[in-house]
A and B are shown apart, each in its own frame.
Chain A
């Protein structure tokens, strides 16, 4: 930061200020502080001196003192830009951006031609998406420095973000005029043209985009993008034949791009395909698509994607079988372990599953017998490779795991292991089977064995850590990831430095399962912190982009940032965070809340010792850095176990904050609305519950599920109207009017008890449904608690996964206590012998 040199100071004093400024820039805060304090003795009211002192002490972690100084200076110098700028700087560093914006704006007002202030101002404006303010700032900056390319670019961006395409294009054209001829080629210029296309396309003038893409073809270097865009526009302009030609050209370049194939099919059929699903095509449509792909298969015999695509749409069993055979042969011969994953999509269709099973069984048997496929002539001496048989066993194990037959799955993987024990993938598959059956202990052991076979494989190392966490064993996980940590900075919390969110998620989940809610929350909050760091990343990108002119990517990046909280790692962690809060809130109401005995941290004592030692080392490092270095001090987490988070006096409000983010950014998720129903029921906001219930209804129906078969919808329907009825007299007329009407609609006039009994009758064989229905019976008739316990215990006979059974078990141990829960556990243990949670 440059001092605003005052004329009344002597040359020597001005020199001192410059030295201070230099020391500050070089992060030599201790020396800087000494010098500025000496300086202030003779000039106690000097604005620059005080501002530097404020900035220096801020960087020495004395934030409050810094703010006090800055505010004091400002109070007596309200029209001093340096004073405003300084306070703005402090706010920006505190991530208090709206306050920073105000300060920078004032600073700029009192120093109109100070470009540094303008730059600080506009970076905050951009962050806050204040596009009108951003435009003003860039106008001013461009006026002051018209030769700077970045200022032109900034102004164009500002207009674009405002949605003022016309002005954006006007400035863009003017910018084009000021460029030299030698600047009108190369990557940067190509990017500028494509950016122009983007703006024009958003303004709706598709014809003009087409024209530019054709006219400037030689200048445009991103040929693929240009072609894709042209095809896309042709599709919009209802010229599928022309679009098809382009897509065929693109397939020539890369025959394995699924998106291009999808577009090609859409061209051919004149429809938009939903998701990856081609099952819904009609017989006629399949015939058209199949003709296309029979030809493509001849043209591109090596493209695995083109070989596989017919499997997605084919309806005829014979044809499907023969295509599948050819496809499977290639993969088994080459030994590509991903064969199963590439077919996984087909497992939605029971007929296809049956064909896969019978075909692979036949081939596996044939390979076992004679090491040939079943279509080999009996006289042939040409054998397949032994690994082909191995991969057929591997596939069979994956197949049976997928359809829930774990014993068969284990048999096949064990056969594979005795055939080729050195194949690492086999142990990974074995671990998966155990994991899917809830035997996390054995799953970890298998995975860790795979890891020891190839210690150099980072994937195996990290995944083994994940399996350890699933086994509630943070200590082991920590030891494994420690192997791949950076050795130079030992033991300082690198996982969060790496923004390694899957680890934080799994660690949070493990602590949650084991009832350590403080540490669980801490880890979910780390994920939250990383996403906020992603938002901060915008500041770094901004400078870079103006030099490179890659504005298309930049705009896309800004739009991604706008929706950064939509990303799955975020929503997943926040859902878990809210669930912990829900448990904490309920714990206050429920006396007999307790954990299942199997959910205990493994190696707990040793874990605590390790964490304690690490903490001590961190403290030591911090003290050393305090004593010696000048740079940023090491900041220690004051609440490593999250105890302060648990003492939050308003858990509900805290949770609501994150729930609202989910409702905004993850509104199409049933889980989000389940949480919303839970929390709004606590808050007695019946309209909000109703809104979420209707959203659940919509999402269930969109998935093609019958409403009468949705246990989630059923549970919250009953919960809502039951609680609503019991509070009816306290509610206002406007609420009643809306809810009453929907209630009649949704229940078709039936009583809650009748409606619930019907649900139980309609879904007699599945754990999830019987559990939801019986739970609601208890809610509606709490006096029948005794009789209903038998009902609950009978659920163990119904169909479902161990996870479904676990929910019942958890519920019983909370509501009915140990005796009943234990009966259920014994039954569940017989049914799911591998699941650790039902073992003693």
Chain B
């Protein structure tokens, strides 16, 4: 079997259409154009994953400023998806590793996200030591079930 070739790339105003397509395929929630335009600005981080030069996965995060409870900035994962046929090949892992290394570099001390109750993604996050912090009922408006968990992981410098 040929060596797998997974590479990470950046979002630009030229390839944003591909991200839109990827998310609409992998995620239950649809986002509008405004959302995607926002991703190109400050305070947001997107990483694209290519498998043999084809875009198959992506993660988009928002940088949240420090709050009273959290004295450091933290990362919130807004969207995270890998095309179904390309799962379990280490692509999600690579994207998550990128996010974690970024946190270490910039000293973001927490990663959090919303995940739909019953989603197969929960096991994925658990594998990487995310824990369920709380449940939000009726978080989603147009999908079933409408409830979600907040999952999070603390990042500490070794």
Contacts and interface: CB of A to CB of B under 8 A. Distances in A.
Chains A and B come from one and the same complex: yes
Interface of A: 333-335, 382-387, 389-390, 419-424, 452-456
Nearest to B48: A422
A421 B14 contact: no
B21 A453 contact: yes
Contacts of B89: 385-386
A383 B1 contact: yes
Interface stretch (B51-59, B101-109, B117-125, B146-154): B51-59
A386 B1 CA distance: 12
A421 B25 contact: yes
Given A333-B1, A384-B1, 12 more contacts: A334-B2, A383-B1, A385-B1, A386-B51, A386-B86, A421-B22, A422-B18, A422-B25, A422-B54, A422-B83, A454-B14, A456-B14
25 contacts: A333-B2, A334-B2, A334-B52, A335-B54, A385-B1, A385-B51, A385-B52, A385-B89, A419-B85, A420-B54, A420-B56, A420-B86, A421-B21, A421-B22, A421-B83, A422-B18, A422-B22, A422-B25, A422-B56, A423-B54, A452-B17, A455-B15, A455-B17, A456-B12, A456-B15
Nearest to B83: A420
A132 B116 CA distance: 88
B53 A335 contact: yes
Query: Lowest 7 CB-CB distances: which A-B pairs, in order?
Result: A456-B14, A386-B85, A455-B14, A422-B55, A452-B17, A333-B2, A453-B17
B158 interface: no
Contact of A335 (B14, B52, B85): B52
B21 A422 contact: yes
Interface in B1-49: 1-2, 4, 12-15, 17-18, 21-22, 25
B18 A387 contact: no
A617 to B, nearest CB: 27
Nearest to A334: B2
Contacts of A385: 1-2, 4, 51-52, 89
Contact of A453 (B13, B15, B25, B53): B15
Contacts of B55: 422
B10 to A, nearest CB: 12
Contacts of A455: 13-15, 17
A335 B3 CA distance: 12
A413 to B, nearest CB: 15
B89 to A, nearest CB: 8
A387 B17 contact: no
B54 A454 contact: no
Interface of B: 1-2, 4, 12-15, 17-18, 21-22, 25, 51-56, 83, 85-86, 89
B20 to A, nearest CB: 9
A382 B4 CA distance: 13
A422 B56 CA distance: 7
A743 to B, nearest CB: 63
Contacts of B2: 333-334, 385
A307 to B, nearest CB: 15
A427 to B, nearest CB: 10
A207 B12 CA distance: 62
B14 A387 contact: no
Nearest to A335: B52
Contacts of A424: 18
Contacts of A390: 54, 85
A791 to B, nearest CB: 51
A195 to B, nearest CB: 45
Contacts of B12: 456
A641 B20 CA distance: 42
Contacts of B14: 454-456
A453 B16 CA distance: 7
Given A335-B53, A387-B52, A454-B18, A382 B1 contact: yes
A453 B24 CA distance: 14
Nearest to B12: A456
Contacts of B85: 386, 389-390, 419-420
A385 B87 CA distance: 11
B110 to A, nearest CB: 30
Contacts of A420: 54, 56, 83, 85-86
B25 A387 contact: no
B143 to A, nearest CB: 20
Nearest to A452: B17
A453 B20 CA distance: 9
Indicate the member of A383, A389, A419, A453 with the most B CB atoms within 10 Å: A453
Contacts of B53: 335
Contacts of B52: 334-335, 385, 387
A418 to B, nearest CB: 9
Nearest to B4: A385
A389 B85 CA distance: 10
Q: Please indicate which of the listed interface residues A333, A387, A389, A419 has the most CB atoms of chain B within 10 Å of its own CB.
A: A387
A447 B97 CA distance: 36
B12 to A, nearest CB: 7
A423 B56 CA distance: 9
A464 B140 CA distance: 39
Contacts of B18: 422, 424, 453-454
B73 to A, nearest CB: 31
A354 B12 CA distance: 45
Contacts of A386: 51, 85-86, 89
Nearest to A454: B15
A382 B1 CA distance: 7
B140 to A, nearest CB: 23
A383 B4 CA distance: 12
A288 to B, nearest CB: 34
Contacts of A335: 52-54
A249 to B, nearest CB: 31
A183 B2 CA distance: 53
Given A420-B85, A421-B25, A387 B51 contact: yes
A447 to B, nearest CB: 14
B79 to A, nearest CB: 14
Which of the listed residues A384, A390, A422 has the most CB atoms from chain B within 10 Å of its own CB? Answer: A422
A420 B53 CA distance: 12
A423 B52 CA distance: 11
A456 B55 CA distance: 15
B27 to A, nearest CB: 13
A438 B13 CA distance: 33
A137 to B, nearest CB: 55
Nearest to A422: B55
Contacts of B22: 421-422
B25 to A, nearest CB: 5
A597 B21 CA distance: 37
Q: Select the residue from B14, B53, B85 with max chain A CB neighbours within 10 A.
A: B85
